[in-house]
Amino acid sequence: MIAIIDYGMGNIHSVKKALELYGAKTKVSSNPQEISACQKIVLPGVGAFGDAMRELEKQGLVSLIREEVKNKKPFLGICLGMQLLFEKSEEAKNCKGLGIIKGDVKRFSDLNLKVPHMGWNQIKQRTEDRRLKTERCSLLKGMADNAFVYFCHSYYPEPENKNVVAATTEYGIDFASVVWQDNLYGVQFHPEKSQGVGLKMLENFVNLC
């Protein structure tokens, strides 16, 4: 069973439908006990960083998420759900994130760029890191390099430890578009809107042991 965390700010229906294409049983919930009883967790997200963290706090989900990740449960953050995994964001400077991945979330600052970054763009898989050469990120299994996925965001994550970056995307700068830290995965794009490539990623997540 895969829990899809419902805190009022996610593209829940599309994510649920995409996961169920590959035989996954899903439970959309904001109940900590129900979420904890599931074998995997997805944190989707559309909206503002500060509002999202306040909703997670209000529903008693912050400590639950930290504990489940610490306990090695497979966890996937999507778009804003990925950004919330970091320590803080320029979007809400007085609001702390989940702090599971060290680093910040920053706004695109190049005045020549159209913000938000919206539409199709490529993800380039990292191979220069020794770990990524010998141990491929399970979320990217079976995927060609430079595959196109669908983005819609004004902010991007900047991890302190570059070894957690599994793939990058170029939009004025090279930013982390896929992060991977043990059982924890995050994607800045929307796999549920990325057609075959994104659906392959969700299939890989469903099939994680």
Tens digits of residue pLDDT in 129-159: 655 555 779 999 999 999 999 999 999 999 9
Whole-angstrom CA distances from 33 to 66, 189, 202 are 14, 29, 24
The per-residue pLDDT for range 153-196, each reduced to its tens digit, is: 999 999 999 999 999 999 999 999 999 999 999 999 999 999 99
Q: What is the pLDDT at residue 86?
A: 98
Q: pTM value?
A: 0.94
* Structural element, H or E, at residue 15: helix 12-20
Residues 6+ apart with CB under 8 A from 119: 150, 151, 152
CA 40 vs. chain centroid, Å, equals: 14
Per-residue buried b or exposed e for 144-181, using 16+ beta carbons within 10 Å of the residue's own CB: eeebbbbbebebbbebeeeebbbbbbebeeebbbbbbb
- Parse the chain into domains and list their residue ranges: 2-89+100-206
Query: Any idea which fold 2-89+100-206 has?
Result: Rossmann fold (3.40.50)
> Burial, 134: exposed, middle or buried (Cβ in 10 Å; 0-12, 13-18, 19+)?
exposed
Instruction: Just list the catalytic residues.
Output: 79, 190, 192
Q: How many C-beta neighbours within 10 Å does residue 120 have?
A: 13
Q: What is the pLDDT at residue 128?
A: 64
* Nearest-angstrom CA–CA distance, 27 and 1: 7
